[in-house]
Structure 1
Amino acid sequence: MPTHEEIKTKSRGLHEYSVKLLSELIAAGAGDGGISGKEGPRGDIIEREFKTMTDLVCKDKFGNICAAIGEGKNPQTIVWLIGHFDTVGPGEWKEAYTPKLDGDKLYGRGSSDQLAGVVSSIAAMKILKESEEKLIEKGVRFVVTANPHEEECEGENIKYMLKNIANTSREYPDWMQKLPNIMVTTEPTSTRDGMPRPYFGHRGRYLYEIRMQGETGHGSIPVKVPVAEVFSRTIHNIFQKVTGPNSPKFGRDTYAFTTGKITSPSGNAHTEVAAWNIDLRIAPTSDPEHILKDMRKVAEEVTHEVAKEKNVTVEEMPQVAFSVVAPEDQTYNGYNFVALQELPGPWLAPTHPIYKRVMDVYTSLFSTPPYDKRDVASDGGNPDEGDCSVRDYYNFSTDLTGLAQMIRRAQKEGTDIPDIAYFGLGSGIEEEAHRQDEYCPVNSLDHATMYYVAFINSFLDE
């Protein structure tokens, strides 16, 4: 097997290829060719690159594009590198789809979030292709999945794949008929100097709607209890009284009122329905019901207070309901789905054997640990235990929520929980995501490629 120095040399040898491919993927977003539901042109480029390396390539109905090396008959270790190829829109950035290399920075929409990770995965496959016989001999299968529609509905792409494989769907070829043992998200984790570090999870994201419906009528004629008055008072009191639990590691669970809608029969009628979406961001150990329970309590208190003030019964008050948001959507491949916006946060415990392997491979490859202050031995299975001074998790949520949903559902239903380890490591910078003038340190492309190859090789050396 190649030494770490040989892996570094091979990865650097693909530097120009990686920069060129990343530039091509950025440019392919022009004319709405990159946003969720319109990212097909980028998918065509990725599929083209896959087919130059392996015959094991497939695209499912959702639009996920997969490639593998190390077919074998009964692989014991299956590692997926996952990365999405849709991006957010350009906003006011006029040069968003004109890639520009300035020194060690490549500018363009999606350069960090998250096309760079896809490029590094493809480069790693090019190198590992040379060791395919060894992969088969050792029972290792290496799979790269390029996934659409993450920016609008993260996790739905991976959930589609895992669900169909677990249910032995015949949509996939034989080499994709087995669940992975390890899933690596290639979302950006690099520092400004281009060194990627492993992340082991992120907070969950839940989207709910608070909806209030009541009496309407002509605006010139007062109604008993105006919906707008009660709704605004409820929202105000929620802000004043509701705080989420505090996680020593992930910080306080937060919520934000985002998009809303007000409807009435006409422009001169009282509001009939008022609704607002609530975006919850909570630690993997938290339950969204904790915050929702407090919000419902506040809404109930306001209802009783206003009923008393207006001298009406509670039954005459506007009715309040909380519900999970589940929008309908369609992928670029024409697949229609409902995206249930309950996305639990994944977290890999430091006690998991893959956690130690991730850290050991990194330290051996780069001759330094990823986190200077981290005392791994003091960490237990709870992410809130041990050294909480280091952020080794994503601020945003990723497609790993698809796996976390699957695990959470199995826990609730008492069914077998899939034994799939997961972590994140990717080229590009997390803080550059969605920014105007987004860029990727191009040396991070090489470093991420190095790590992916070294991580797979760690199974071949056993």
Structure 2
Amino acid sequence: MIDYKKVMELSKKYEPDMVKFLRDMIRIPSESAKEREVIQRIKKEMEKVGFDEIRIDPMGNILGRVGKGKKIIAMDAHIDTVGVGDKNSWQWDPYEGKLENGIIYGRGASDQEAGMASMVYGAKIIKELKLEDDYTLWITGTVQEEDCDGLCWQYILKEKIIDKPEVVVITEPTNLNIYRGHRGRMEIGVTTNGVSCHGSAPERGKNAVYMMAKVVNEIEKLNERIKHDEFLGKGSVTVSYIECNTPSLCAVPDRAYIHLDRRLTQGETRESAVAEVKDAIQRAQIEASVEVLKYSTPSYTGLVYEIDKYYPTWVLPENHVVCKAAVKNYKDVLGITPKVDKWTFSTNGVATMGTMGVPTIGFGPAHEIHAHAISDQVPVEHLVKACAWYATFPSVYVNM
């Protein structure tokens, strides 16, 4: 039997440690592919609390193990962040880790180094209360998520860095709710090729920008036709970038390019999304090429692991044993029934469940509205409650 009162007492006891750890991480700039220093800080904390094993894989992800049972469970926090933009737009130094009135502010506070702070101390409580059961728990701090959702987990699972888990917990911000999926996304490039000529006689050429303008018009119409899902909501497509190539500002452009941000709802696939873009081009009566873009930026270790920028939709059924275990544990730890919902944005779940088929659930401190925002923040009480949930979920799951 789990002594939930004792778990919460210990979680509260370790609140100062979690606060210090999180503030230290915030103070270390760690944009995608620049995470080396924050990984070392996490390693130091894992050593301090007494993990059974700590690894840093060739990509640069850190993986800490507790236990050696048959059932493999992973809990994940990506520890890279987006940049801060114009620092003058912040009310405080985004790399200070400011603590005021029970709230920690700074880049990465919500998205999502708070999850890492709570997980590490959840593991400490597991060991302190001897909550190890027939499971092996991996706590992962993963890299490059902000640039390429799920890249890290495709690498971990396809390259067999650890044995395949039977459940993954994503600790992205959920406002302490249970999340069971989100829309997928993909990045698509469209190119039109024209014929350049002198701008004084444009009729001699074929303007690639005019060609692309017709395509853009059809893409806007396509967005209105995309299907809606009752749980995940509507898919979408938008032009997020446009450029052209021209010999000079006195010439007709011979090439135009647009970048499409495509959000995929339930039932939509890579193939269906590409087919819709090609159909839009046909409706525009224009010749254009379509490609699914690739990601090949080296990690901070120098490793290149190229993948397509296709991040599948995923939804865990509400009656799945993992979801039931998450809800039961929530009730036992926090004494109330959780809201079961979804993320608006994308997570590493696109790889764990979307690509690799591992049942995945989400529970994390902070509210997602603060992710990537100049209000980036997390309440300290969220760290404590999340820590207690992380400490007890593995045992609840393996005994379902």
TM-score using structure 1 length: 0.81
Q: 1:68 aligns with which of 65, 68, 71?
A: 65
Aligned pairs (5 A) from 1:126-165? 126-131=124-129, 135=132, 138-165=133-160
1:269 to 251, 259, 265: 251
Query: Structure 2: which amino acid aligns with 1:6?
Result: K
Match of residue 289 from structure 2: 321
Q: Does residue 1:88 correspond to 2:93, yes or no?
A: no
Cross-structure match for 2:206:
225
Distance in 2, matches of 1:163 and 1:447, equals: 33
Task: Flag structure 2 segments of 5+ consecutive residues without an equivalent.
Answer: none
Residues in 1 aligned to 2:41 and 2:222: alpha-carbon distance in whole angstroms? 51
Instruction: State the partner residue of 2:112.
Output: 114
Counterpart-to-counterpart distance in 2, 1:459 and 1:226 = 61
Query: Gapped runs of 5+ residues in structure 1?
Result: 166-171, 191-195, 304-317, 372-390, 408-417
**CA distance in 2 between partners of 1:104 and 1:442 (Å):** 6
Q: CA RMSD in A?
A: 1.8
> What residue identity is the alignment partner of 2:201?
I
Residue identity matched to 1:431: I
The answer as to whether partners of 2:22 and 2:114 remain within 8 angstroms in 1 is yes
1:188 pairs, out of 156, 161, 173, with 173
SS at match of 2:197: coil
Q: Return the offset for 1:365.
A: 1.9
Tell me which amino acid in the other structure corresponds to 1:156.
L
The question of whether the paired residues in 2 share the 8 Å contact of 1:257 and 1:279 is answered with: yes
Superposed, which structure 2 residues align to 1:292-371 within 5 Å? 292-303=274-285, 319-371=287-339
Q: What are the residue-to-residue correspondences of 1:372-451 with 2, within 5 Å?
A: 392-407=341-356, 420-451=358-389
**Structure with the greater alpha carbon radius of gyration:** 1
CA contact (8 A) 1:227 1:271 kept: yes
Shift of 1:269: 2.2
Q: Distance in 1 between the 2:148 and 2:5 partners? A: 40
What is the aligned-residue identity percentage? Answer: 25
* Aligned match of 1:456: 394
Q: CA deviation at 1:291?
A: 4.4
Q: Separation in 2 of the partners of 1:7 and 1:425?
A: 18
The answer to whether the Cα contact below 8 Å between 1:96 and 1:437 also exists between their aligned partners in 2 is no
Is 2:155–2:305's contact at 8 Å kept on the other side of the alignment?
Answer: no
2-side partners of 1:49 and 1:203: how far apart?
Answer: 34
Contact 2:353 2:360 in 1 (8 A): no
Query: What is residue 32 of structure 2 aligned with on the other side?
Result: 36
TM-score normalised to the size of structure 2? Answer: 0.93
Could you tell me how far 1:453 is from its partner in structure 2?
1.2
**What does the per-residue CA deviation read over 1:255-313, in whole Å, with 9 as the maximum and x for residues that have no partner?**
1111222112333321111111111112233234444433322322322xxxxxxxxxx
Q: Deviations over 1:372-399 (max 9, x none)?
A: xxxxxxxxxxxxxxxxxxx701110001
